[in-house]
Amino acid sequence: MTKPKLSFWQIWNLSFGFLGVQIGYSLQNSNTSSIFESLGADVSHLSYFWLAAPLAGMIVQPIVGLFSDGTWTRWGRRIPYILGGSLISALALVLMPNCPKLLAFAPLAMGAFILLFMDLSFNVTMQPFRALVADMLDDSQKTQGYVVQTFLINLGAVVGAILPLVMTWLGVSDEVSFVGLMRNVPGVMVRLGVTQFFSWAALFLMWTYLKPAITGVVTDHATGEVLSAGATQTWVGVLNGTYPIPACIAALFLGRVAARYGNKPVYAACLLAGALGLAGLCLLHDQYALMLPMVGIGIAWAGILAMPYAILSRAVEPRRMGVYMGIFNFTITVPQIVIGLTGGAIVKYCFASDAADMLALAGVFMLLAAVSVFLVKEHKAQ
């Protein structure tokens, strides 16, 4: 069935809710490691707490995708999940910073529980948005749809990442069995999974170890002195709010560039920019100079959020779009689980607890992701 062409603003409205989801994710990404460090967690244990996100995504997204494919209400089949997940997400965001008050004798355990609760609700909200774009747009507009979604995600990331700094300035310190679906996973999904593994492993390493990697190393631009731990954490928020800005800008051009050169070359180029950016984080120490590598990481982030979905959406039959988009989330969560389980041992026994080496490892993973894009056999747009 031919789908009607949608205007830019109609495409925009399809994904506008992702703005709020990413504000929450951005707050989580910038502050989780610091929250758990403040509760007494050792640097070698941080990756275990970050397992909550990929575990929640791996469990929830395929289930929500499966049920939302077959859910029909007066509000549609995706909206109930988006609405319910968003309300629970808001509650989790309120509870997270108050975990010591909720369970004073075991704040780490309460923090881990709330983090898992938060990620479950984020994933309930996020997955239907991915499927909604594929539901509503034909092949010729899907890349544009995911590019707009990427722009909104990154706009939300900027807001969420910068909120702590701003507050500081303000003076506030369907019927098929699941097994059958897995047996018939499109080949392109499997190949994209290789790229996804390396790129998301790299991102997980950066999110987890950026703060400890630059603590005691990043210097004040004006004085050249090493920033304090508190100032470093604030600057981590600034850095996490920097890379979504070039991601937003890149997202505006990805669709046009991909239409001319193809999705795969553009995807690979984005990931290569990310590898260079991660290398820069290892080499630079001035607080403002550290913002430059974030440009490359932002370009990679734009590609990661748009290009694999544009490629995959052409290979999946529409009636199974939701569940396969959910299953595809395994390629995001599995690498994070693998790194989460092994990261503590790697940083402790391979790198002598030097978190900066984990950023270098992230750069290697991102480079492997860029090379692996050429294993993907893309379906042409109809």
Mind listing the pLDDT tens digit for each residue in 287-297?
999 999 999 99
User: What tokens were used for 41?
Assistant: 């967690």
Q: What is the pLDDT of residue 164?
A: 75
How far apart are the C-alpha atoms of 379 and 316, rounded to whole Å?
10
Task: Give the residues across from 286 on adjacent strands.
Answer: 219
Rounded Cα–Cα distance for residues 164 and 184 (Å): 45
Answer whether residue 381 is part of any domain: no
Q: Is 380 within a domain?
A: no
Between residues 366 and 75, which one has the greater pLDDT?
366
Q: Which domain holds residue 31?
A: 8-375
pLDDT, residue 174, reads 38
Give percent of the chain with pLDDT exceeding 90: 38
User: What was the pLDDT predicted at 87?
Assistant: 82
Whichever domain contains 261, its CATH number is 1.20.1250.20
Residue 162 domain flag: yes
**Is 382 a domain residue?**
no
> Residue 249 pLDDT more than 60?
yes
> pLDDT-derived band of residue 304, with 50, 70 and 90 as boundaries?
very high
Question: Looking up tokens 């722009």, which residue turns up?
Answer: 151
1: in domain: no
Query: Within 13 A of 187's CA, how many CA atoms are on the CB side?
Result: 5
- The residue whose two tokens read 């997270």 is 96
| Of 77-91, 163-177, 239-253, 293-307, the least confident | 163-177
Task: Tell whether 183 is covered by a domain.
Answer: yes
Evaluate whether residue 140 is within a structural domain: yes
What is the predicted pLDDT for the residue at 288?
Answer: 95
The total number of structural domains that make up the chain: 1
Q: 80-84, 85-89, 98-102, 270-274: which has the minimum mean pLDDT?
A: 98-102
The answer, yes or no, to whether residue 77 has pLDDT greater than 70, is: no
Has residue 248 got a pLDDT over 80?
yes
Q: Is residue 150 part of a domain?
A: yes
Could you give the CA distance from residue 336 to residue 83 in angstroms, rounded to a whole number? 27
Query: Within a 10 A sphere around the Cβ of 31, how many other Cβ atoms?
Result: 22
User: 184: which 2 tokens?
Assistant: 């018939």
Report in angstroms the alpha-carbon separations of 79 from 27, 66, 180, 320.
24, 14, 27, 17
